Structure 1
């Protein structure tokens, strides 16, 4: 019996709510339909505008991506050229430094030999 009472109460509540909403509706059925059609038209135009703007953003992004790839490509080539020029400029200096190091090393060996000759003569 309790389930039957609950079901009857539910049906009465739903029926009462439907009646109240129909009687308190601000527009008649045909006016409401016309209003919904207009709103759907506005919604469609707004969605079309959003699509247009999204496509504009997408094309702008793709353009920026393409331009940045070109810039980075040319920048990479410029950096390679700069490194090559730097190496060409520095190689003679490196060779001179190596020659000076070899000269200093040879002189050190000569001084070492001379010093050992002098010490060996003093011991005799």
Structure 2
């Protein structure tokens, strides 16, 4: 839903409800006209305030989007650098762990052979 549609609906609802209240109230013609004029003036002020706040919101969203566009490449580069550094830092451990796994597999194979030889006897 777009913000402009929301605010338009809000304004139409406010005007409609104000009109319904004014027309259903038991007042004289003069009182009703004064009341309508006063409500109309109040609605104009409120609509101007809503427009101003919508404009401020639009500006804030634009600023936030611009800021995100500017910072995203920096964050991406920093993240990629961190990943590369982590990979370099863990490479020696990976090699050591891989060698240890190979030793364990060799030991397991030798143990299996020894167990098989003992069971044949």
Instruction: Report the TM range for the smaller structure's normalisation.
Output: 0.5 to 0.7
Q: Is 1:91 matched with 2:103?
A: no
Structure 1 ranges of 4+ moved more than 3 A: 113-120
RMSD: 2.5
Higher relative contact order (CA 8 A, sep 6+): 2
Q: Per-residue displacement from partner, 1:71-107 (whole Å, max 9, x unpaired)?
A: 1111111111111222122122101111012113322
Aligned equivalent of 1:66, options 35, 51, 68: 51
**Structure 1-normalised TM-score?**
0.52
Aligned to 2:62: 77
Q: Per-residue displacement from partner, 1:35-90 (whole Å, max 9, x unpaired)?
A: xxxxxxxx433322211101101111211121122111111111111112221221
Q: Which consecutive residues of structure 1, in runs of 5 or more, have no partner in the other structure?
A: 1-42
**Structure 2-normalised TM-score?**
0.53
Whose radius of gyration is greater, 1 or 2? 1
Q: Is 1:56 matched with 2:35?
A: no
Question: Map of 1:20-59 to 2, 5 A cutoff?
Answer: 43-59=28-44
